[in-house]
Amino acid sequence: MLDKPASRTASGPLAGFRIVEFAGIGPGPFACMLLADMGAEVITLDRVGAKKNLKAVAVRGRKVVEIDLKDSAAIAQVLDLLAHADALIEGFRPGVMERLGLGPDVVLQRNPKLVYGRMTGWGQEGPLAQAAGHDINYIAITGALAAIGTKDKPVPPLNLVGDFGGGALYLAMGVLAALLEASRSGKGQVVDTAMCDGAASLMAMFFDLAHSGRWVEGRGNNMLDGGAHFYGVYECACGHFISIGSIEPQFYALLRQHAGLTEDAEFEKQMDRKAWPVLKEKLTQVFKSRTREDWCRIMEGTDICFAPVLTMAEAPKHPHMAARGVFVERHGVTQPGPAPRFSRTPSVIREPEAAEIGEIIAAWKS
């Protein structure tokens, strides 16, 4: 893990782009963190007295302004700021920005080139648009949650599929696509990002597999959901776990070779679903015969498609992650560094700072 002090200098492919973020939780701030890492100047408007923790991971790279959006004079300042911005990102329920006098019609009239990014769980319209929800609810109606877990019940995959995968990443991608289009057309637009939309989009491959008969309902019956013996997680003698993903025949052959299974003819039935339970039990016993450290010595670095299952405390210390500097330390907090990586305009983590909206407006006007 590299200890890289944060910078105050913008670097990255988005250097020079100006984004105004209306403070929220979850996917909106994470998307803005990604954009800030890539060099965008992100101004976060937060409520008066919020006292945002500037050392928090998701706040890195911002200028944070405390402002009362119920004050008409403050709204006038926000409109002045947005007149010189490239993008806006907000994560309120549908209608809130309109009631504040900051809806797309008003803002785009002042700045026709602005990209207006909206982040919600259910979207701007539809029967559930005004309902409260969280990641687990948004992925539940897409088919994703039902497909993840044990045979007994679905298990939430943290909040990675809805909040961050289907939310933040689609928001960032949508805003960037709209900025690219605006650079050609000179016209902005609204980017309606809903976590239920994004999570459903992430399920595209599985709907394709189901249509072709290669995916069946019911957890633990498919190749990628823990059903197959050659794609899953196994406990070792030490109580730790390892993962294997030996899908391709050549990788599966290496698994058999390194696990001492070449003489067991039963393992030739790799794609026979009926054989999977028995083969899985056999592999369970094989992997329990050695420690995780032993299996790493035997399998890591081969084409078996193998990796130890590491905790968050262990991950930064893994030789590969350490060599790439995937994790960095900032203010004593271990955290992921910027991703992806750019060869000519590298991203950097910049220090956030408190700011005054008047100073920013003056700077953006100059």
- Give the whole-angstrom CA distance, residue 243 versus residue 6: 34
The reported pLDDT for the residue numbered 51 is: 84
Specify whether domain 231-319 bears CATH 3.20.19.10. no
CA dihedral 50, 56, 57, 59 (to 10 degrees): 30
The residues annotated as belonging to the active site are: 134, 163
Distances (CA, A) of 117 to 78, 89, 177, 232, 297: 16, 5, 11, 38, 48
**Rounded to the nearest 5°, which phi and psi values hold at 18?**
-115, 125
Angle at 165 between CA 114 and CA 226, to 5 degrees: 165
Contacts of 225 (CB under 8 A, 6+ apart): 147, 148, 219
At 41, give phi and psi (nearest 5°). -85, 110
Start-to-end CA distance of the chain, whole Å, equals 40
CA distance 171 to 119: 7
Q: What's the CA gap between 318 and 307, in Å, rounded?
A: 11
Give the residue range(s) of CATH 3.40.50.10540 domains in the chain.
Answer: 18-203+331-365
Distances (CA, A) of 363 to 113, 164, 252, 283, 355: 19, 32, 60, 63, 12
What are the CA-CA distances from residue 146 to residues 43, 76, 155, 276 (Å)? 38, 47, 8, 21
Stretch(es) of the chain classified as CATH 3.30.1540.10: 231-319
Cα 114 to its chain centre, rounded Å, is 25
Q: What distance lies between CA 265 and its chain's CA centroid? A: 42
> What pLDDT is recorded for position 6?
55
Average pLDDT per consecutive 10 residues, the chain (366 residues; last block may be shorter): 57 96 95 97 95 88 96 98 98 98 98 98 98 97 97 96 98 98 98 98 97 95 97 98 98 98 97 97 98 98 98 98 97 95 96 95 94
Give the pairing of strands 41-46 and 18-22.
parallel
Q: Which residue has the tokens 């790439």?
A: 324
List the CATH code of the domain at 18-203+331-365: 3.40.50.10540
Q: Quote the Cα angle for 256-258-260, to 5°.
A: 65
